[in-house]
Amino acid sequence: MTPTRKKRLIMILMVALGVGIAAAIFLTAFKDNMMYFKSPTEVAAKDYPVNRSFRLGGMVKENSMRRIPDSLKVQFEVTDFADSVLVEYEGILPDLFREGQGVVTIGTMQNEGLFVAEEVLAKHDENYMPPEAAAALEAAKPKYNNQQEESE
């Protein structure tokens, strides 16, 4: 093998190795940080990742918010009008967090009934609804309508 060829071969091997390592790191980091979005209906059907963070979105149910006295801990329900999930959060809620408004929370299911949120995101301005929350409400509409008919 001539020196030039050898040099080239080494270069190619180095590049291949670099690309391989980069791809491996990329995939691992990506897999670890990919977060699913779930609606209350999906959570009720137990379709959610266990022991892993995911995003839960919908509306904050009217009259569902209550504060644990003398603490920053709050509980509220996130609903898509078909099902709702109890959410617990400790910390300061965003300015535009309100009952009857869209919300996206990030956290894990602690047990089958309680979602512990590490982060709560509300909308940014009056006209805006988080797209994920809007989609969740849209998806639950048929089911919600059925329930209404049944109860009538």
Q: Does residue 34 bind another protein (CB under 8 A)?
A: yes
Among 40, 102, 107, 130, binds another protein (CB under 8 A): 130
CB of 144 to another protein, least distance (A): 19
What are the angstrom distances between the C-alpha of 60 and each of 34, 70, 130?
Answer: 25, 22, 13
Report which residue type is found at 37. F
The neighbouring-strand residues paired with 16 are none
Nearest to another protein of 33, 151 (CB atom): 33
Please give the structure tokens belonging to residue 29: 């980091």
- 78's enclosing H/E stretch is strand 73-79
Residues in contact with another protein by CB under 8 A are: 22, 25-26, 29-30, 32-37, 53, 55, 67, 69-72, 90-93, 95-96, 104, 121, 124-128, 130-132, 135
